[in-house]
Amino acid sequence: MITIEEIKAQELNPQQFIADRCKEISEAVGEGLAINALSGGVDSSAVTMLGHKALGERLKTYFIDNGIMRQDEPQAIVSLFKELGVKVEIIDARDAFFQALKGINDPEEKREAITQTFYKNVFGKLVKESQAKHLLQGTILTDVDETVAGIKRQHNVFEQLGIDPQAAFGYKILEPLIQLRKDGVRKLAEALGLPASIYNRMPFPGPALSARVIGEATPERIETVRLATTIVEQELAGVQAFQYMAILHADRVTGMRNKQRDFGQQIEIRCWDSVDARQARPTRLSFEILEKLADRMVKEVPGVVSVTYNIATKPPSTMEAI
């Protein structure tokens, strides 16, 4: 197994790190082209800035609209990077992802479907068209740990699983952030000139809202969790927490609406205090905030009759529900 030497956030010298990684990226890519996918999270944003520092126009950056991102996310991220002088192209791949997710209920099978669609189908095609031989990716050490430990297969981890991306997908993957954890990436992102809205941004999982839907991720169910996510993010914006989220459950429960029985849907809210995502505790939200959340969920998200707040710690929970 490959051993990766961790660089702790407090030991990180961002300017040195930037110089070292830029040199490595330039040497690996040579005169060729590289490609990367930006999701707007702190990891992929930091990689995008690093790659552009190292390669300039020779790095082609794409935002893959997989249909499972949050409200208006693709357009908002692309405009933000435009202001930073980085051109990002949006690829509409919504149909391909929903087709791949069709009929799948198992969490690991969902991750696998997303991985295959992303790397083989959508991204594989882009890489071929662009003639890039290298793919830059924001894998961090926590992704590797959890995949190797068999807890969750992070969709961006290959070599640690014994998969050779060159053989499987036809390109080489460069992972300049692999020695860092989230707190280190935030420090780096700030040093790279990204705005606070990015370097302080909450983590968001690779499988996006499909990780927030228990059971099948259909367009309708994704829309339900997207609405619930907007409400959670609006209501908890002022709370100091590591991450907050809404989860759509597969079970239905009996409720009542307009004096009629309504066998409705359940939303679970999670809000975590954590430093590096390895351990986490539920934030002690006030009951006023919880009541406001419940009130908006049942009024604004069609079909929801039950709203719960998770109070278990990680471990044994994980932060995402699938």
Among 60, 110, 221, 314, binds ligand XMP (CB under 6 A): 314
The reply to whether 206 sits near ligand XMP by the rule CB under 6 A is: yes
> Of 152, 317, 154, 320, which Cα lies nearest the Cα of 246?
320
The reply to whether 211 sits near ligand XMP by the rule CB under 6 A is: yes
Among 146, 159, 233, 276, binds ligand XMP (CB under 6 A): 146
- The residue type at 163: I
The reply to whether 270 sits near ligand XMP by the rule CB under 6 A is: no
Minimal distance, residue 156 CB to ligand XMP, in Å: 7
Which residue do the tokens 């100091």 mark?
A: 240
Q: Which stretch binds ligand XMP (CB under 6 A): 152-160, 232-240, 251-259, 262-270?
A: 152-160
In 10 A of CB 148, how many CB atoms?
14
Write down how long the chain is.
322
> Of 38, 45, 46, which Cα lies nearest the Cα of 62?
38
Alpha carbons 74 and 91: distance in angstroms, whole number: 10
The reply to whether 320 sits near ligand XMP by the rule CB under 6 A is: yes
Minimal distance, residue 215 CB to ligand XMP, in Å: 16
Alpha carbons 93 and 116: distance in angstroms, whole number: 13
Closer by beta carbon to ligand XMP, 243 or else 265 = 243
Continuous segment of H or E residues that includes residue 48 = helix 42-55
Minimal distance, residue 242 CB to ligand XMP, in Å: 7
Q: Which stretch binds ligand XMP (CB under 6 A): 11-19, 151-159, 233-241, 254-262?
A: 151-159
Minimal distance, residue 232 CB to ligand XMP, in Å: 14
CB 147 within 8 A of CB 153: yes
The reply to whether 319 sits near ligand XMP by the rule CB under 6 A is: yes
The reply to whether 277 sits near ligand XMP by the rule CB under 6 A is: yes
Longest dimension (CA), the chain: 69
Among 139, 154, 229, 265, binds ligand XMP (CB under 6 A): 154
Q: Which stretch binds ligand XMP (CB under 6 A): 60-68, 147-155, 262-270, 286-294?
A: 147-155
CB 74 within 8 A of CB 82: no
Instruction: Give how many residues touch ligand XMP by CB under 6 A.
Output: 15
Alpha carbons 317 and 322: distance in angstroms, whole number: 10
Closer by beta carbon to ligand XMP, 29 or else 177 = 177
- The residue type at 188: L
Among 205, 222, 235, 266, binds ligand XMP (CB under 6 A): 205
Name the token pair of 129: 């068209």
Closer by beta carbon to ligand XMP, 40 or else 206 = 206
- The residue type at 288: E
Alpha carbons 143 and 243: distance in angstroms, whole number: 16
Return residues touching ligand XMP (CB under 6 A). Answer: 146, 152, 154-155, 203, 205-207, 211, 243, 277, 314, 318-320
